[in-house]
């Protein structure tokens, strides 16, 4: 039987937990309001959006005309095509960095080779290179390749041939893959290096090689950090505008992702700006599905490597 003091402490603890959650719900509502306004305006006409705020909308004003327009196949920037383009960019730009970086992170963490420390430092230092300053040189390389003319000899060495992939989705996801690799290696290395050393020693005693250890032990134990990076990388590539605009631009309108297509929906002088809420909500739907599908790994992946096991 609880004493009065024990009951009062329990009541105080519950009251404290309830009050401490108030700021969290307040922040959640603040962040939810723009999304709610976007959702409501996506079902309103142009005159309705201009005439009053979304909180004054009545059910009779709702219409699906905006969604029908943005998905029309005969429009220049149809979201139906651009959604497929965004998937064609985001999926390879997410899977390829994870696949390569996982092997590299395991090598940096548990394989002892000469120059490992300095090679890892050089790899991570690439994070300091601004993305914006490399876009135009990369675009020129995709078009004409990378060559070096040797002085006094007059010969030209070709390091990278002219691929001619400008104006394609390949140029976009290839750029995303290159710039995501250092961060992926850094994040996965922090997590993999924190795994218990005993399990690796036991596996080596049983005769397992590095590939077996990586495939049977490291990958299953690294699912949280892999999922966390997948969320970050997918959201980054799906919501990217600058790289897609630079690499594709107006050269190939059929390859434009949703971000560029939505920016073009407004038309000349913003005459179709009422279509933007519908397009933006469609564009935001896929990242929301990805996030909620992997959210149970999100917090665990954020703390990857912060505590040594």
Q: What is the pLDDT of residues 52-78, one digit of tens each?
A: 888 887 777 788 888 888 887 555 557
Per-residue pLDDT band for 304 (boundaries 50, 70, 90) equals low
Closest CA to 192 of 305, 68, 42: 305
Per-residue pLDDT band for 227 (boundaries 50, 70, 90) equals confident
Mean pLDDT of the chain: 83
Mean pLDDT of 33-46: 86
pLDDT value at residue 24 = 76
User: Domain 65-302 is of which CATH architecture?
Assistant: Orthogonal Bundle (1.10)
**Domain-by-domain residue ranges, the chain?**
65-302
* For the chain, percent of residues with pLDDT exceeding 90: 21
Assess whether pLDDT exceeds 60 at residue 308: no
Mean pLDDT of 132-143: 88
Residue of 51 and 119 predicted with greater confidence: 119
Distance of CA 101 to the CA centre of its chain: 15
pTM of the model: 0.81
Per-residue pLDDT band for 309 (boundaries 50, 70, 90) equals very low
pLDDT value at residue 250 = 76
Mean pLDDT of 32-57: 84
Mean pLDDT of 164-181: 91
Residue range 271-284, pLDDT digits in tens: 788 888 888 888 88
Residue range 125-134, pLDDT digits in tens: 988 888 888 8
Give the burial class of 66: count Cβ atoms within 10 A of its Cβ; 0-12 exposed, 13-18 middle, 19 or more buried. Answer: buried
């Amino acid at each position: 039987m609880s004493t009065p003091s024990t009951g009062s402490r329990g009541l105080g603890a519950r009251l404290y937990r309830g009050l401490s959650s108030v700021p969290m719900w307040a922040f959640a509502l603040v962040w939810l309001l723009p999304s709610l306004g976007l959702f409501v305006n996506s079902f309103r006409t142009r005159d309705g959006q201009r005439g009053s705020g979304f909180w004054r909308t009545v059910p009779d004003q709702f219409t699906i005309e905006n969604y029908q327009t943005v998905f029309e196949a005969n429009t220049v920037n149809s979201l139906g095509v651009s959604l497929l383009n965004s998937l064609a960019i985001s999926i390879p730009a997410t899977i390829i960095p994870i696949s390569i970086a996982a092997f590299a992170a395991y090598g940096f963490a548990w394989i002892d080779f000469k120059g490992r420390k300095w090679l890892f430092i050089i790899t991570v230092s690439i994070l300091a290179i601004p993305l914006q300053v490399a876009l135009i040189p990369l675009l020129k390389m995709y078009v004409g390749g990378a060559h070096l003319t040797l002085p006094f000899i007059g010969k030209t060495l070709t390091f990278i041939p002219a691929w001619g992939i400008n104006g394609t989705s390949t140029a976009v996801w290839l750029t995303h893959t290159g710039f995501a690799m250092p961060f992926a290696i850094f994040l996965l290395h922090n997590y993999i290096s924190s795994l218990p050393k005993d399990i690796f020693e036991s596996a080596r005693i049983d005769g397992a090689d590095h590939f077996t250890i990586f495939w049977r032990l490291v990958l299953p134990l690294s699912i949280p950090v892999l999922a966390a990076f997948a969320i970050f990388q997918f959201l980054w590539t799906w919501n990217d505008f600058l790289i897609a605009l630079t690499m594709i631009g107006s050269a190939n309108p059929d390859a434009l992702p949703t971000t560029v297509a939505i920016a073009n929906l407004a038309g000349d002088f913003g005459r179709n700006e009422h279509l933007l809420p519908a397009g933006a909500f469609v564009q935001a739907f896929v990242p929301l599905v990805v996030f909620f599908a992997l959210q149970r790994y999100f917090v665990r992946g954020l703390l990857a490597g912060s505590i040594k096991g």
